[in-house]
Amino acid sequence: MAYKYVDNYREQGARKKLVDELRKKDIQDEQVLQAIGKVPRHFFFDETFWNQAYKDIAFPIGEGQTISQPYTVAYQTELLHIKKGDKVLEIGTGSGYQCCILVELGAKVYTIERQQKLYERTKQVLPRMGYKPKFFLGDGSKGLEAYGPFDKIIVTAGAPTVPEMLLKQLNIGGILVIPVGNEELQKMVTILKTGENNYERHELDTFRFVPLIGGPLTP
């Protein structure tokens, strides 16, 4: 079935303005900005809310979850330094928007979501838009051991601490980007794996994500 939405001049123009806004907010990686300029963010919204799709805001996607703010997506993606062919694990598929940005940058994406309804919806929608990552349903705080190691890991929900299992599933030279903190606020943390048991950790700006939830899945 063909995807029902069209990407017309109005949406393309709004997307271009969003890219300019992100550049002004100090997103510098031109490849990341180009990827944001390519992915039709309004496809992730109900048609009634298309006028919200290119505002730099997070937005509800159902099941108590949100599509991340474009600035946050650009910020996290920039920190990953994606190279074509990188094997990337995304934890928190949600709407699939972040995942599409990673695919546009040439990454081979493995994406995991713990909410069954979001997993099923996104698994259907993304391939219709031409994006074909590998989808998994499960608790991403444990990573995806059977498919690792990964060159890059991105966590798109706020974690209380850095899960040990994610560090184990990184290649040497690999990067983990994860918001770490309490339920209210988190610091963006990047971890570069420099040796089998050696890591370089940096703490950056403050964000507010929905929580990374471990344990049994939500139907």
Residue 118 neighbours by CB distance under 10 Å: 21
Site string for ligand SAM, 149-188 (x = CB under 6 A): -------xx-------------------------------
Residue tagged active-site, from 65, 68, 156, 169: 68
Q: Which stretch binds ligand SAM (CB under 6 A): 27-35, 60-68, 80-88, 126-134?
A: 60-68
Residue of 66, 69, 171, 190 that binds ligand SAM (CB under 6 A): 66
CB of 26 to ligand SAM, least distance (A): 21
* 141 classed as catalytic: no
Based on the shown chain and the rule CB under 6 A, indicate whether residue 139 belongs to the binding site for ligand SAM.
yes
Site string for ligand SAM, 105-124 (x = CB under 6 A): -------xxxx--x------
Q: Which stretch binds ligand SAM (CB under 6 A): 1-9, 25-33, 166-174, 204-212?
A: 204-212
Residue of 70, 140, 174, 179 that binds ligand SAM (CB under 6 A): 140
3-class secondary structure for the chain? CCCCCCCCHHHHHHHHHHHHHHHHCCCCCHHHHHHHHHCCHHHHCCHHHHHHCCCCCCEEEECCEEECCHHHHHHHHHHHCCCCCCEEEEECCCCCHHHHHHHHCCCEEEEEECEHHHHHHHHHHHHHCCCCCEEEECCHHHCCHHHCCEEEEEECCEECCCCHHHHHCEEEEEEEEEEEECCCCEEEEEEEEEECCEEEEEEEEEECCCECCCCCCEC
List the catalytic residues: 68
Enumerate binding residues for ligand SAM (CB under 6 A).
65-68, 91-92, 94-95, 97-98, 112-115, 118, 139-141, 156-157, 209-210, 212-214
